[in-house]
Amino acid sequence: MPAPVIKLLETPEEMTLVEDLQRAVWRGSETDVVPAHIFITAIHNGGLVIGAFLEGELIGFVFGFPGLDFTPDGPRPKHCSHMMGVKPGRRDAGIGFALKRAQWQMVRKQGIDHITWTYDPLLSRNARLNIAKLGAVCNTYRRSEYGDMRDSLNAGLPSDRFQVDWWVNTRRVERRLSKRARAPLKLDAFSKANLQPLYTPLAWTEDLICPPEHFSPLEGRLLLVEIPSDFDAVKEADLALARDWRFFTREFFETAFAAGYIVTDFVYDEGKSFYVLSNGESTLE
């Protein structure tokens, strides 16, 4: 695939293209399509709508707007990244990464050093992009963040989300976005360091795994925890199993974050998916 053209979107006509693209990405709920007039108001007030075009067709977008962090020292500006979507059939070709890279550059130019967004922690592809490739970190778990969602990707499950922190001026993030980004992490790096997964999911069918009943007490500086590699397939095959994964990982991540662990990496290797959590380590290096 040739490289897409990445550019800032500014006109009402471009915003209607983004409306159409949302219908292709999150099928089934017209109510959930962000309308052109909201994009226009947002971009006239510091918001950014960035598009990826291939041969003149819009195939991806990312949308965010300025927001506030409420810190003990008072409110502090941040960029709240609300939506990103790539057309089905165009995924896994680096479009999402290219859009976030452009957002990173533009937000830095606005003098803002922090971007946050939410995603479903059970989506392995999103985790690989957000945590492993972009260098975002997470210690905030939000239960049922958007209530009962109606679109085809989210209907039927509590809308629990990770809220990730992307500290855009840190060496960690600059290194991940540099031209010589690190190679994907492999599982054998962990086995060589004697780090074992905290729990082993049980085989459910040939293709599906189910969560264990319990996880061991959390100890040590690093934890490795497995999630399904294709949660959309789990949802489609067995919604009750998908709910089990939701409630198991909800309990696990809430316990881990309360104990001081932070999600700092993600491994997708040999068709398996693992979060890496760290305790007692700076996440801003």
Q: Which helix (H) or strand (E) holds 273?
A: strand 272-279
Count of residues engaged in binding ligand COA, rule: CB under 6 A: 23
**Residues 6 or more apart whose Cβ sits within 8 Å of residue 45:** 65, 66
Q: 62 or 168, CB closer to ligand COA?
A: 62
Among 108, 114, 125, 250, interactor with ligand COA by CB under 6 A: 125
CA distance 185 to 195: 14
- How is residue 31 annotated by DSSP? G
The verdict on 230 binding ligand COA (CB under 6 A) reads yes
65 touches ligand COA by CB under 6 A: no
Q: Closest distance between ligand COA and the C-beta of residue 60, in Å?
A: 6
Q: Indicate which single residue of 22, 116, 124, 249 sits in contact with ligand COA (rule: CB under 6 A).
A: 124
- The DSSP code for 156 is T
Residue 91 or 255 with smaller CB distance to ligand COA: 91
When the beta carbons of 8 and 181 are compared against ligand COA, the nearer one is: 181
From 121, 58, 129, select the one nearest 93 (Cα to Cα).
129
The number of residues in the chain equals 285
DSSP state of 32: G
Dihedral over Cα of 92, 206, 248, 199: its sign = negative
**CB closest to ligand COA, residue no:** 96
Number of C-beta neighbours around residue 181 at 10 A = 12
Q: Which is nearer to ligand COA, 243 or 272 (CB)?
A: 272
Residue 128 within binding range of ligand COA, rule CB under 6 A: yes
12 and 42 in contact (C-beta within 8 Å)? no
Closest contact distance (angstroms) between CB of 92 and ligand COA is 4
Alpha-carbon distance of 272 to 25, in angstroms, equals 25
**Interface mask (CB under 6 A) for ligand COA, residues 91-120, using x and -?**
xxxxxxx---------------------x-
Calpha distance 19→30 (Å, rounded): 10
- Report the nearest approach of ligand COA to the CB of residue 203 (Å): 18
Shortest CB 161 distance to ligand COA, Å: 9
> What's the rounded Cα separation, in Å, for the pair 91 and 239?
24
Site for ligand COA in 6-25 (CB under 6 A): 25
Question: At its nearest, how many Å lie between ligand COA and the CB of residue 198?
Answer: 19
- Number of continuous H segments (helices) and E segments (strands) in the chain: 8, 12
Q: Given the rule CB under 6 A, which of 9-17, 125-133, 214-222, 277-285 is the region that contacts ligand COA?
A: 125-133
Within positions 163 to 202, which residues make up the interface with ligand COA, using CB under 6 A? 184
Interface residues toward ligand COA, by CB under 6 A: 25, 83-86, 91-97, 119, 124-126, 128-129, 184, 229-230, 268, 273
